[in-house]
Chains A and B, each alone.
Chain A
Amino acid sequence: MSEDRKRILELLAEGKITADEAERLIAALAGEGAARAERSEAPRRSPKYLRVIVDANDEGHATKVNIRVPMQLLRAGVRLGGLIPTHAREQVNEALHDQGIDIDIGKIKPENLEALIEQLHDFSVDVDDDSAKVRVFCE
């Protein structure tokens, strides 16, 4: 028996609440418990696509970009990236470093990507600038 239910029964025994009130409280508790169980048991759907939406308006030139990339393609790309020979990987890392991106692509493994994708459910990036609006999210 849960603590809440025990407390309700104690209140009923002490005469602080009526039988009807106790029944309503227990029913409310049961409903809340069921809803909580449903929330925890419902499988979280893994995102299927990465979406990038850009709405730019540069000096009157409106440009819209709408990209949808399947997560499967990202996974396959990371696995393919694992095949890059060491010397080529070093060159890629250097080029990225020159662009201000300090990433060692040799350390990006498929299992890392899986962990990342698992956390992407609520992922959303919104950049709202005077000249452009950028939205990156998963669906």
Chain B
Amino acid sequence: MIALMAHVVVEPEHGRPIRLWLPLFLVWLLLVVLGVLLSPLIVIACLIARMNPFTTVWRLCRVFAALAGTHIEIQSPEAVVLVTVI
């Protein structure tokens, strides 16, 4: 299941807390469009690095898809940081 949303919370000790719900599905759509537009450059870069461009793009996509379920929570006296990928 691909990650659809990310919840980011940053609460510094002093200052305004930041709470964001990031719609990742929109980010993925933007990345797809960007990837298509930049595909010639990606292919050239992969060929220079002697990497298979299709395998590279596929494996990168799998990393993005596997992000769902990631949870990072750090509480310190200076700040609280919470990142949850849903």
Listed in ascending order, the chain A residues whose CB lies under 8 Å from chain B are: 48-49, 61-70, 72-73, 75-77, 79-80, 82-83, 85
Contacts and interface: CB of A to CB of B under 8 A. Distances in A.
Interface of B: 49-52, 55-56, 59-60, 62-63, 65-77
Contact of B59 (A61, A79, A85): A79
Contacts, number: 65
A80 B60 contact: yes
Contact of B69 (A61, A64, A70): A70
Contact of B55 (A69, A76, A83): A83
Contact of B63 (A66, A68, A77): A77
Which residue, B55, B62, B66, B76, has most C-beta atoms of chain A within 10 A? Answer: B66
Nearest to B60: A80
A61 B77 contact: yes
Contact of B77 (A62, A68, A83): A62
A83 B62 CA distance: 13
A85 B50 contact: yes
A70 B68 CA distance: 7
